């Protein structure tokens, strides 16, 4: 039994036409009716495309004005956004530049301040070290001075009051000096300062150290201790005891002049050499004619005496 063949149908929905043969369908497509319908649809499609609505800001397409209208409410123009962003970026860049400039200046200032601080710290450290060294030296000097002074005070008092308790008084020592014409003549040759110093020192050397009426604990500062009225006392700044002793020696030496005149009668003859020697003796044995020069001479004699009566070991 043979199956019946199903005929194939060709349909044109636009024209509401159908047929079973392809040739018939092709002929239909060429008919004026079909062509008119097709042309009308094409125009409608074109018109539909033309009626699409485009956003001027973002170029998006919309099929209706309503869609475009809704879109415009939320759409922001990219160019405007870009410009605003660029402006903001520019402002930010400007602020950043200012901040960086300020930071650079601040960094420079900080560096300068740091350098200054380091320099000041170095100077401060150096100064502190110098002060510390000075304090050490000063403390050493002070301690040494205090120790030396204390030791000297103790030892000098013991030395004077115990070991030198039998020393002669200064005035008694001067009165005991036995001067010779040679002393007067030597003063004329050496001069007042050296002549009187020689008499004073030679008289002290004839005594034992513990019998001497004068002792010096510091020749540089001329610190003397003098035995007066059976008591040891420290000589004052004016050196009154010593100056009085010098004046007494000067007077005692000059008192020999009449004896020298007797032994040298030609001294009164102005044409003789003895007269020249005589005049020299008078000038040099009496010191100076002014108080100012006398003070200078006394101080020089005291310096000479100090060198000879320094207490070497106390």
Pick from 275, 284, 288: which is nearest to 254 by CA? 284
- What are the tens digits of pLDDT across the range 23-81? 888 888 888 778 777 776 666 555 555 567 778 777 778 777 787 787 877 776 665 66
Residue 218 CA from chain centroid, whole number: 39
| pLDDT confidence of residue 1 | 45
Check pLDDT > 80 for residue 108. Answer: no
CA torsion, points 87, 90, 94, 95, in degrees to nearest 10? 70
CB-side exposure of 269: number of CA atoms within 13 Å? 7
The DSSP H or E segment spanning 232 is strand 231-234
Q: Could you tell me where the DSSP H helices lie in the chain?
A: 22-29, 32-50, 65-74, 78-158, 170-176, 181-190, 192-205, 240-254, 257-263, 273-285, 291-308
| pLDDT confidence of residue 3 | 47
Check pLDDT > 90 for residue 111. Answer: no
Whole-angstrom distance, CA of residue 40 vs CA of residue 51:
16
- What are the tens digits of pLDDT across the range 255-277? 999 999 999 999 999 999 999 99
The DSSP H or E segment spanning 62 is strand 61-62
In this structure, the chain runs to a length of 314
Taken in order 115, 117, 119, 121, is the CA torsion positive or negative? negative
| pLDDT confidence of residue 40 | 67
Domain ranges of the chain: 7-51, 165-308
CB 118 within 8 Å of CB 126: no
CB 38 within 8 Å of CB 14: yes
The DSSP H or E segment spanning 235 is none
Pairing of strands 17-19, 10-12: antiparallel
**Higher pLDDT residue, 89 or 14?**
14
Whole-angstrom distance, CA of residue 52 vs CA of residue 41:
17
CA torsion, points 163, 168, 171, 172, in degrees to nearest 10? 180
Q: How much is the pTM? A: 0.53
Whole-angstrom distance, CA of residue 111 vs CA of residue 234:
65
- What are the tens digits of pLDDT across the range 140-187? 555 555 555 555 455 899 999 999 999 999 999 999 999 999 999 999
DSSP lists the bridge partners of residue 216 as 224, 310
């Amino acid at each position: 039994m043979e199956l019946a063949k199903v005929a194939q149908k060709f349909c044109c929905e636009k024209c509401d036409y159908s047929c079973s043969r392809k040739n018939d369908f092709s002929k239909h497509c060429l008919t004026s009716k079909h062509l008119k319908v097709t042309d009308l649809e094409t125009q409608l499609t074109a018109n539909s495309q033309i009626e699409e609505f485009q956003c001027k800001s973002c170029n998006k397409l919309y099929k209706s004005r309503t869609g475009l209208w809704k879109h415009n409410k939320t759409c922001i123009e990219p160019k405007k956004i870009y410009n605003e962003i660029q402006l903001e970026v520019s402002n930010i860049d400007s602020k950043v530049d200012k901040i960086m400039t300020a930071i650079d200046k601040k960094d420079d200032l900080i560096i300068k301040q740091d350098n200054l601080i380091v320099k000041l710290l170095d100077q401060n450290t150096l100064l502190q070290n110098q002060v510390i060294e000075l304090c050490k030296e000063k403390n050493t000097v002070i301690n040494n001075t205090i120790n030396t002074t204390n030791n000297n005070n103790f030892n000098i008092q013991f030395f004077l009051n115990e070991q030198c308790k039998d020393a002669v008084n200064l005035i008694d020592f001067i009165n005991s000096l036995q001067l010779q014409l040679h002393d007067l003549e030597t003063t004329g040759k050496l001069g007042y300062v050296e002549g009187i110093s020689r008499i004073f020192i030679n008289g002290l050397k004839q005594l034992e150290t513990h019998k001497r009426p004068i002792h010096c604990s510091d020749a540089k500062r001329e610190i003397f201790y003098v035995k007066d009225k059976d008591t040891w006392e420290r000589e004052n700044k004016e050196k009154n005891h010593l100056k009085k002793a010098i004046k007494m020696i000067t007077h005692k030496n000059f008192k020999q002049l009449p004896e020298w005149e007797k032994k040298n009668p030609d001294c009164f003859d102005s044409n003789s050499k003895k007269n020249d020697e005589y005049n020299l003796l008078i000038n040099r044995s009496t010191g100076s004619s002014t108080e100012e020069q006398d003070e200078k001479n006394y101080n020089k004699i005291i310096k000479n005496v100090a060198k000879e009566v320094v207490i070497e070991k106390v």
